[in-house]
Amino acid sequence: MQIRNETATDKAAIRRITEAAFAGAGHASGTESAIVDALREAGTLTLSLVAEDGGEVVGHVAFSPVAIGEGAPESLGGWFGLGPVSVRPDRQRKGIGAALIREGLSRLRGQGAGGCVVMGDPDYYLRFGFGHDPDLRFEGVPPEYFMRLVLKGRGPAGAVTYQPAFYET
């Protein structure tokens, strides 16, 4: 399996995988593939990685900038939101999503990012170093399901706002 940046020819496969991965998931909004498309169209899809196996795209992860409070000080570096993460249903639970997340976090760290936030299952995301921070808030989400990972320096405090694609789709 190879993890690489998405290319223009991957868009349809990413959409199919994302729709299939979230179909029937109780926590899903049903707009996950539209969010990825809208982030890409707005130019705010900072990091978009695919997992390819045998020449076929089998997974995808997206990272986009977030705003925190009045904005994280420059010294803290940029902060990003992780998600959505999608793996083709017949390839789930084989480590593909974890590999995509680890590679994405490694690349963000290499770019000097301050940190990353995620909304999701604590039992899953704790393994990557994410944890709850009472100084960071995302309205409408139980605090234990909103986590952060500091990649550089110290973490900022305040309310987190994702890209408009998360609210408009």
Q: In what order do the strands lie in the sheet with 136-137?
A: 67-68, 158-161, 136-137
pLDDT digits (tens, 9 = 90+) for 64-76: 999 998 655 454 5
Q: What is the pLDDT of residue 154?
A: 86
Q: What is the pLDDT of residue 168?
A: 84
Least confident of 52-61, 76-85, 127-136: 76-85
Give the whole-angstrom CA distance, residue 167 versus residue 110: 29
List, as one string, the DSSP characters of 8-77.
GGGHHHHHHHHHHHHTT-TT--S-HHHHHHHHHHHT---EEEEEEETTEEEEEEEEEE-EETT---GGG-
Q: What is the pLDDT of residue 31?
A: 81
CATH class of 2-168: alpha beta
Is pLDDT of 77 > 60? yes
